[in-house]
Structure 1
């Protein structure tokens, strides 16, 4: 398949899936080995999931407890070479990037540079008057009512025409600037990619600092994330987990570098590794970036699910979700984008964590059965984590 045909095919796939995808901190790999315990159930389950019809070509899960780190892997990071996935492989983290914007915003709240009740009208007066009353709290909880720019015809048309189109990340909300709010702010939950674009813009306005610099200063440095970045382009740093389109009409198609990240930015553009994501979620869920007041505000739960839904019963806080499984509660975030589906979760004290990554996009609209099976596997991994079978 030519590069141009590959781009066009991926753009077509992307137009269908985009609304879903946009829609203690010691190194996680220290002393890690594959399946060091005698419990083979997680390995068997991950193998079975990868080898199911239409399953992802590769998967990796990192479980970390007080006892150490376990890495479970299945399939290949690259189907051409057959190389196994590694916790140091780069990957697109999709909407788990929204937790990073939450980390920035809540740290600024803790530093009193922002307030949860600050409005778009106060911080971003150039945005439509109809949106003026929306607060930072409502953006972080997906109760803002902002229309989703990634659903707009203008945005999707540009993406279909050129998957590598360079968007002005700070003008993405312009695609829906002529739209009213979908509902009165604070009265409903509706997951929107616009919310976290607005969060990043508010952080920039409050600090006069680019969002990328805020990530480095407030998140990457304190949590020692050495392989995490927010690129604008389409290229992946080596080594990386290759992401695939596994549509039944053809064999796995590598879509890792088919689209640029400028069109998702703070809503889903971050590239990281399973090791870094383990460090991140342990610190983020454990409340190590900001004080107890911000943590308490973050954990005011409303009915709502991440996208895709995480394991167990989901409820939404401020840029974090509560996953109530049959074995107990973890806090985290999910995400999916072209070629990747992600879950990061940790106990509320951050002492135990799970990073679960697969190399295809799994959505309810495209593979409802696959999503159901993945959530079941994820819940089993959470149970292994919480029961200490590590």
Structure 2
């Protein structure tokens, strides 16, 4: 097993179920919980797919009936559009009025989403949109008839044995964090490298989701128009549901990076070598591409 020198945070690579690289820089340990930021979007996608399997949600139907008072153009938006970032909704910071109070419930935050002209007609363009995933979380709550976090804990984290994973900041055992209100469906999950590895190894080898649902989750559904760039260790040509679909170190992969003030994260599953790559750092200046490249080299995956 290899370690990684100088890492601020924790990282783990497994290949075929065996640990190849494991590293944590003090005071962080492998059991330290971190906010995983946008890695959490895939949990919202898994929740939506579970409910679709149970007949409680339809991926290809308009979401407007779930969102009373939504503008007329939302009548064309489906859950599929929200999950693939093709709804036309903007991202945080691109429009005024996106300030979120920590005490606000999901329903109250929905009113902050701009309801004017979309960036593109639903289904016709790819635009990364965390507000779209806030809508997904709201729809999951309504379809499941229980709070979003409770649904994930009961139907995703519990069945996969992710005992250290929480919704919202845990009371103990967490690194110091800037005050950032958790936003359901987008950046509200805290986890460890071990739990995310366990998630990869089970979800992508037949646990939790049916074959067809997993194929949708990881399918190259929406082109991102991203071009390969020198020095980057991962490339996302498409987006599935809550996951980028592309390559990591030249291997076909499903992955997602994440960043919020004070933290960066990266989690990937490489189906060819059956490898999981997880990085959680409490240094927002961490070069995720460089560290990922070091992890792949240490694990003999590059």
Range of TM-score over shorter length: 0.7 to 0.9
Query: Which one of 43, 66, 76 corresponds to residue 133 of structure 1?
Result: 76
Confirm or deny that 1:61 pairs with 2:11: yes
Partner of 2:174: 240
Confirm or deny that 1:208 pairs with 2:130: no
- Going from structure 1 to structure 2, the CA distance change for 1:104 and 1:349 (only over 3 Å counts) comes to farther
Partner of 2:279: 356
Partner of 1:3: none
Partner of 1:162: none
Partner of 2:197: 278
- Secondary structure of the 1:265 match is coil
More helix by share: 1
Alignment check: 8 A CA contact 1:65 1:352 kept: yes
Residues 168-187 of structure 1 mapped to structure 2, 5 A cutoff: 168-187=105-124
Give the whole-Å Cα distance in 1 for the aligned partners of 2:270 and 2:217.
Answer: 15
After TM superposition, the score normalised by the length of structure 2 is 0.87
Gaps of 5+ in 1: 1-35, 51-57, 77-82, 160-164, 243-255, 363-369
After TM superposition, the score normalised by the length of structure 1 is 0.68
Shift of 1:138: 1.0
Alignment check: 8 A CA contact 1:99 1:319 kept: yes
1:57-108 deviation digits (Å, cap 9, x = unpaired)? x1221112236224533543xxxxxx2x212111111111101101101111
1:317-362 deviation digits (Å, cap 9, x = unpaired)? 1111123134412212111111110111112379421111111224
Aligned residue-pair number: 296
Partner of 1:94: 37
Shift of 1:119: 1.4
Give the whole-Å Cα distance in 2 for the aligned partners of 1:120 and 1:69.
Answer: 42
- Going from structure 1 to structure 2, the CA distance change for 1:183 and 1:275 (only over 3 Å counts) comes to same
Partner of 1:11: none
Give the whole-Å Cα distance in 1 for the aligned partners of 2:178 and 2:66.
Answer: 35
Give the whole-Å Cα distance in 2 for the aligned partners of 1:283 and 1:349.
Answer: 15
- Structure ID, larger Rg: 1
- Secondary structure of the 1:219 match is helix
- Secondary structure of the 1:222 match is coil
* Root-mean-square deviation (Å): 2.7
- Secondary structure of the 2:142 match is helix
Shift of 1:270: 1.2
Give the whole-Å Cα distance in 1 for the aligned partners of 2:9 and 2:202.
Answer: 23
Gaps of 5+ in 2: none
Partner of 1:311: 233
Alignment check: 8 A CA contact 2:267 2:278 kept: yes
Give the whole-Å Cα distance in 1 for the aligned partners of 2:282 and 2:200.
Answer: 20
- Secondary structure of the 2:264 match is strand
Partner of 2:126: 189
